Structure 1
Amino acid sequence: MNRRATTAAIAVSLASALTLTACGGSGGDSVAADAKQTLTVWAMGTEGEKLADVAKVYEKANPNITVKVTPIGWDVAHQKLVAAAAANKLPDVMQMGGSYLTEFADMGALEEVDTKTFKEKDYFPAGWEQGEYDGKAYGVPWYVDTRVLYYRTDLAKKAGIDKAPATMAELQTAAEKYQKAGSKYGLSIQPNGLDSVQSFYQFLYSAGGQIVTKDGKTVANSPATVKALENYTSYFKKGLAAKSVRPGYDVTKDFNTGAVAMFFGGPWHMGLLDDNYPDLKGKWAIANVPTDKTSASMAGGSSLTISADSEHKAAAKELVKYLTGTKGQADWFQRTKDLPANMTAWNSGDLANDPKMKIWKTQMESAQVSPAQPKWSEITSKIDTAIEDAAQGKASPKAALDKAQGEIEGLVQK
């Protein structure tokens, strides 16, 4: 939480410098796409590691292009991007999540997307929206992400549960039954720490709540949002979920042992379970987020952006075109299990035929995007605090969100 507040403060202090150095794309299109050149690319986490293999494939097909991929840890990514932007040393191509992209687009550090080459209709709406800021597109969707419910089917039978919970009320009943049947916790959700809000989004959006509306109105203490936090924190009060979780906690370990019976997870959890716990195969399944007013999950993922000051924009655009096209997306899914942002990639292979993937696609179609706010990381840190205060019993959900409301209002760009 403090890390995000600190990096956001750095960004604010550098905004004036960035307006001068990044705005206007002084690098221009000085190098032709097929000229011999080196493209610098920054990508984060696992994607940064996997992208190096794809770069080798791309180089074979495009011998004049060298793709130099630098993997960046998510824990330092924001700070490195801010520092590079201030020094006018951003790479040609960058992976960016929605909150980062908004911030850097606002600074003038990103090249506007060529919408004749990259067409909005080809991508999931939630993926495309994450690349937009102030009515313009600055990022091309690379992969999308959302959350679904993972649950132990073998333990469900022992607990007398014959189907996945379809409603939020059924979710809590299932958690109680799992616990009575021997699981330490019926559900794993995040009670505190950085980005607790990502665990909360499933409850928030399904209840019809929001933090900030698209037109910049702060609604962090609206009745729907309060209701969602009351439901969320009831799991901690009833002992159905752990009241504290250590940093870096890996829920799949407790899911494997049965200590945790259900959790909301991303697509990468399927690979973790298959690779690390092969004996668990056939003993778990996924389901869409249980319905409150609706079934809605967060929309995550990353876009690929091009620096406004890159001297290799034409070649950078060709690389982004490959990575976000149908063939490149299908290849990326096989390598990483990241959900393709390009919808045509879902029309063949496992993406079209695997029942699990149909669940992901359905959830992605209703996933909700965070509003385009330059200070979104700072804004959500206030919700992280509210979640922790309510989960630990330091304040009621209403009081915690009232406090967050006041703090967020001053951070919102109208």
Structure 2
Amino acid sequence: MNRAAATGSLALALASALTLSACGGSGGAGVAADAEQTLTVWAMGTEGEKLGDVAKEYEKTHSNITVKVTPIGWDVAHQKLVAAAAAGKLPDVVQMGGTYLGEFADMGVLEPVDTKTFKEADFFPAAWQQGSYHGTAYGVPWYVDTRVLFYRTDLAKKAGLDKAPATMAELSSAAQAYREKAGTKWGLSIQPRGLDTVQSFYPFLYSAGGAVLDDDGKPVVNSPAAVRALENYGGFFRKDLSDKSVQPGYDVTKDFNTGAVPMFLGGPWMTGLLDENYPDLKGKWAIAPVPADKASVSMAGGSSLAVSADSEHKAAATEFIASLADAKGQADWFERTNDLPAHKGAWESGELAKDPALQIWRAQMDTAKTPPSQPRLTEITSKVDAAIESVTQGKSGAKAALDKAQSQIEGLVK
């Protein structure tokens, strides 16, 4: 769901200077799963704070296992992971953000996934891809996130809109109608610049049929489809429908509540923020799929769970991950956190199967895309961030900006 501010270059520089003993794993069978032992687990952000409760429940049915969960802030996660990998001291189980996995798999510090225990077909394709590197899975999908359109239904009526925009052309028209007829300050909130602007751009890029990297990891960010997507994205700023001076840490839900912003593309956690912080807004907003260009395709984020190649507790670690990553475990995790399950079976019963709004998220995940794992993915996407900023700030055209990014990225792929 999140990415640390540290760049991938830090990890690459440190990793290149080190010989990591973990490359071959522990070399032995390790401790049996039924032996008395302690599992060390690192998890990030909110997940790190809440996983301890699940671990206590797990210990009740596994009296031989003590699970020691260490919460790590996303702002320092990358740095801590790099340092631990360099020292051969990664925990037995580690949460891997989507942009991390290729980097650490390339270092050789992660154990390949036991594909007899975890089946690719059980998970959303993008979630499994996010946990894979060069055709080998190193992370078991734990939860996913994607982006859908949040929009104010009450203001839509004032704007003369009777349904959510279903195409990118309709999205632009709706943004204009909100401003001109409903009196909103902006039409659509999308990120203009800064770290991870690319995540705001992905729904436009993927829906247009573009990508940063193709399935083989080759840079394709200046393709005609990508150029068209960035021209469309930049158009919201040229037409003064989106704010080009949004500051880091901006909370769009505040302006969504006041009506200054009537539409934004957001993740599943936004639902909880709106319900908790603005209960009076209930019934005045809804969600819809990403408006389609060639298709409606959003980004896939989230996290995987990986086992350290140096762990002496691989068997127990695999069993613990299995309890978190199966359909039952992920449905329980959704109840605790609102993180969307990566396991398709979790969506077959209960609220996940019956709630119409949740089905929008489910359908969006079926087509969601994620970049192929790369050791320097953070650096790669930073070049796209810069290209987007040059367009939204009126400093460059889309093709020139993406040609520059393409040239830069070609030197970073592996």
TM-score interval w.r.t. the shorter chain?
A: over 0.9
2: CA distance, partners of 1:18 / 1:107: 10
Q: 1:177 aligns to what? A: 177
Q: 1:146 aligns to what? A: 146
Q: 2:73 aligns to what? A: 73
Instruction: Report the residue type matching 1:352 in the other structure.
Output: A
Instruction: Report the residue type matching 1:350 in the other structure.
Output: E
Aligned to 1:99, the other structure's residue is in SS state: coil
Q: 1:294 aligns to what? A: 295
Q: Deviations over 1:95-134 (max 9, x none)?
A: 1122211111111000011100111111111111111111
Instruction: Report the residue type matching 2:134 in the other structure.
Output: D
Please say if residues 206 and 297 of structure 2, whose CA atoms lie closer than 8 Å, have aligned partners that are also in contact.
Answer: yes
2: CA distance, partners of 1:84 / 1:134: 23
1:174-253 to structure 2, matched below 5 A, reads 174-180=174-180, 181-253=182-254
Where does the alignment leave 5 or more consecutive residues of structure 2 unmatched? Answer: none
Aligned to 2:30, the other structure's residue is in SS state: coil
1: CA distance, partners of 2:128 / 2:4: 25
Instruction: Report the residue type matching 1:299 in the other structure.
Output: A
Q: Deviations over 1:255-295 (max 9, x none)?
A: 11111100001111111111111111111100001010111
Please say if residues 5 and 378 of structure 1, whose CA atoms lie closer than 8 Å, have aligned partners that are also in contact.
Answer: no
RMSD (Å) for aligned C-alpha atoms: 1.4
Q: 1:95 aligns to what? A: 95
Please say if residues 145 and 299 of structure 1, whose CA atoms lie closer than 8 Å, have aligned partners that are also in contact.
Answer: yes
**1:14, CA displacement in angstroms?**
2.5
1: CA distance, partners of 2:47 / 2:380: 26
Instruction: Report the residue type matching 1:72 in the other structure.
Output: I
1: CA distance, partners of 2:344 / 2:6: 37
Aligned to 1:22, the other structure's residue is in SS state: helix
Please say if residues 43 and 72 of structure 1, whose CA atoms lie closer than 8 Å, have aligned partners that are also in contact.
Answer: yes
1: CA distance, partners of 2:409 / 2:16: 23
Q: 1:356 aligns to what? A: 357
Q: Does 1:118 find its partner at 2:130?
A: no
Aligned to 2:99, the other structure's residue is in SS state: helix
Aligned to 1:255, the other structure's residue is in SS state: helix
Instruction: Report the residue type matching 2:197 in the other structure.
Output: S
2: CA distance, partners of 1:27 / 1:86: 18
Q: 2:136 aligns to what? A: 136
Q: 2:311 aligns to what? A: 310
Q: 2:108 aligns to what? A: 108
1: CA distance, partners of 2:333 / 2:4: 29
Please say if residues 4 and 74 of structure 2, whose CA atoms lie closer than 8 Å, have aligned partners that are also in contact.
Answer: no
**1:6, CA displacement in angstroms?**
6.0
TM-score (norm 1): 0.97
Please say if residues 27 and 311 of structure 1, whose CA atoms lie closer than 8 Å, have aligned partners that are also in contact.
Answer: no
TM-score (norm 2): 0.97
2: CA distance, partners of 1:161 / 1:265: 21
1: CA distance, partners of 2:276 / 2:27: 45
Q: 1:266 aligns to what? A: 267
**1:76, CA displacement in angstroms?**
1.3
Instruction: Report the residue type matching 1:163 in the other structure.
Output: K
Q: How many residues of Structure 1 are paired with residues of Structure 2 in the alignment?
A: 411
Q: Deviations over 1:156-192 (max 9, x none)?
A: 0111110000000000100011112121111100001
1: CA distance, partners of 2:205 / 2:402: 12
Structure 1 residues 27, 91: closer, same or farther in 2, change over 3 A? farther
Structure 1 residues 34, 17: closer, same or farther in 2, change over 3 A? farther
Q: 1:384 aligns to what? A: 385
Q: 2:49 aligns to what? A: 49
Please say if residues 214 and 372 of structure 1, whose CA atoms lie closer than 8 Å, have aligned partners that are also in contact.
Answer: no
Aligned to 2:67, the other structure's residue is in SS state: strand
Please say if residues 48 and 72 of structure 2, whose CA atoms lie closer than 8 Å, have aligned partners that are also in contact.
Answer: yes
Q: Does 1:257 find its partner at 2:258?
A: yes
2: CA distance, partners of 1:319 / 1:247: 37
Aligned to 1:32, the other structure's residue is in SS state: coil
1: CA distance, partners of 2:177 / 2:193: 25
Q: 2:323 aligns to what? A: 322
Please say if residues 192 and 392 of structure 2, whose CA atoms lie closer than 8 Å, have aligned partners that are also in contact.
Answer: yes
Q: Deviations over 1:285-332 (max 9, x none)?
A: 000010101110011111100000011111111110000012111110
Instruction: Report the residue type matching 2:53 in the other structure.
Output: D
